[in-house]
């Protein structure tokens, strides 16, 4: 786990919701309904303050913080982040010239351009290619990990100082699969965590359509959960998920290279492999800083 350097973290002493306001008005004539009014106004003002003060040096422009937080709370996901073309190109160029490796197998690595030849030699499909810390420590990715807009979103939604938890960059490679395998994959919905204080940002570095293994999110599944969903960590079928959440809440995230979105880590998502087009994805995970006892 790697925490943000608090010396450069604008949220070191930041509390987005000013919980002490009730103490300020507790003993005066504003007691009762009026303090709630001021709390609401304080929240609205604080969001505006965050957006103007902490997002001015961000690579993301014109992000409506209110809209982002509202979408996260209601749907569990917000899709209003987009990487500049220069950032996309820099990360993609690094990925194309740096060896990646199989998940949980750092001994085997290859360049993306050699994957077809390698799969033929090994007589084994390469489904995912993961990059290690050598590439992840590049200045471009480090800049994203401390971007003020991403920190503002995480701090406001988590109502705490955001701690950078993990970064991953990986390829999902198009592989041949049987009809049975594709049907099995379509039934595998899972939740990464039940921790309510965790948030994940995703960025596509390649164009992603329905044939490129788009990220599939079940809307509202971060806050609407059956008892079994809360305590059992397992995969669930399409029938189970659609019956409880409705087909209309199962959404595939497609878009051009650079598309970014942020998701509550408690949302259900679907495992699958691309059918024809490779996908390169950057993932940044943040968690709320533990409260002092």
Q: Tens digit of pLDDT for each residue in 84-117? A: 999 999 999 999 999 998 888 877 788 888 888 8
Question: What pLDDT is recorded for position 75?
Answer: 95
Question: What pLDDT is recorded for position 185?
Answer: 53
Report which listed range, 175-184, 186-195, 199-208, is most confident: 199-208
For the chain, the straight-line distance linking the first and the last C-alpha, in angstroms and rounded, comes to 21
Of 142, 127, 240, 120, the closest CA to residue 191 belongs to 240
| Assigned domain for 3 exists | no
Mean pLDDT along residues 58-77: 92
| Assigned domain for 72 exists | yes
Mean pLDDT along residues 178-194: 62
- Looking at the DSSP bridge assignments, the partners of residue 130 are 101, 170
Question: What pLDDT is recorded for position 51?
Answer: 52
| Assigned domain for 97 exists | yes
Tokens describing residue 287: 């968690």
**Is residue 204 pLDDT above 60, yes or no?**
yes
Find tokens 């790697």 and name the residue.
2
Q: Name the least confident of 48-57, 157-166, 250-259.
A: 48-57
Question: What pLDDT is recorded for position 238?
Answer: 86
- 3-class DSSP string for 44-111: HHHHHHHHHHHCCCCCCCCCCHHHHHHHHHHHCEEEEEECCHHHHHHHHHHHHHCCEEECCEEEEEEC
Q: Name the least confident of 9-23, 172-186, 227-241.
A: 9-23
Q: What angle do CA 253, 237, 173 make, to 5 degrees?
A: 45
**Is residue 44 pLDDT above 80, yes or no?**
no
Instruction: Assign 133 a pLDDT band (cuts: 50, 70, 90).
Output: confident
| Assigned domain for 99 exists | yes
Q: Tens digit of pLDDT for each residue in 2-38? A: 333 333 444 444 444 433 333 333 333 233 333 333 3
| Assigned domain for 101 exists | yes
Mean pLDDT along residues 163-190: 74
User: Residue 108: which CATH number?
Assistant: 2.60.120.620
Structural domain total, the chain: 1
Q: What angle do CA 226, 230, 235 make, to 5 degrees?
A: 90
How many Å apart are CA 104 and CA 97, to the nearest integer? 21
Mean pLDDT along residues 48-60: 64
Instruction: Assign 180 a pLDDT band (cuts: 50, 70, 90).
Output: very low
Diameter over CA atoms, the chain: 79
Report which listed range, 174-178, 201-205, 269-273, is most confident: 201-205
Structural domain span for residue 269: 21-288
- The answer to whether 263 touches 77, Cβ cutoff 8 Å, is yes
| Assigned domain for 221 exists | yes
Mean pLDDT of the chain: 77
| Assigned domain for 10 exists | no
């Amino acid at each position: 786990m790697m925490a943000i350097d608090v010396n450069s973290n604008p949220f070191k002493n930041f509390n987005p919701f000013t919980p002490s306001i009730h103490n300020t008005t507790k003993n005066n004539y504003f007691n009762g309904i009026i303090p709630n009014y001021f709390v609401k106004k304080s929240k609205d003002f604080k969001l505006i303050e965050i957006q103007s003060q902490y997002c001015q040096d961000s690579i993301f422009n014109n992000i409506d913080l209110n809209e982002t937080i509202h979408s996260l709370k209601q749907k569990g996901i917000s899709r209003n982040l987009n990487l500049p073309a220069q950032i996309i190109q820099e990360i993609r160029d690094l990925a194309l010239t740096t060896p990646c490796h199989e998940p949980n197998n750092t001994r085997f690595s290859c360049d993306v351009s050699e994957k077809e030849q390698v799969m033929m030699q090994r007589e084994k499909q390469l489904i995912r290619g993961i990059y290690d810390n050598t590439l992840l420590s590049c200045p471009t990715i480090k800049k994203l990990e401390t971007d003020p807009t991403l920190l503002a979103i995480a701090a406001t939604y988590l109502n705490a100082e955001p701690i950078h938890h993990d970064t991953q960059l990986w390829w999902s490679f198009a592989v041949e699969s049987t009809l049975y395998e594709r049907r099995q994959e379509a039934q595998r919905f899972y939740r990464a965590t039940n921790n309510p204080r965790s948030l994940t940002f995703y960025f596509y570095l390649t164009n992603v359509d329905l044939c490129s293994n788009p990220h599939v999110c079940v809307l509202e599944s971060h806050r609407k959960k059956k008892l079994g969903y809360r305590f059992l960590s397992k995969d669930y079928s399409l029938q189970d998920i659609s019956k409880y959440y409705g087909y209309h809440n199962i959404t595939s995230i497609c878009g051009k290279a650079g598309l970014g979105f942020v998701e509550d880590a408690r949302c259900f998502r679907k495992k699958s492999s691309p059918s024809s087009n490779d996908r390169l994805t950057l993932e940044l995970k943040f968690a709320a800083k533990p409260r002092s006892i």
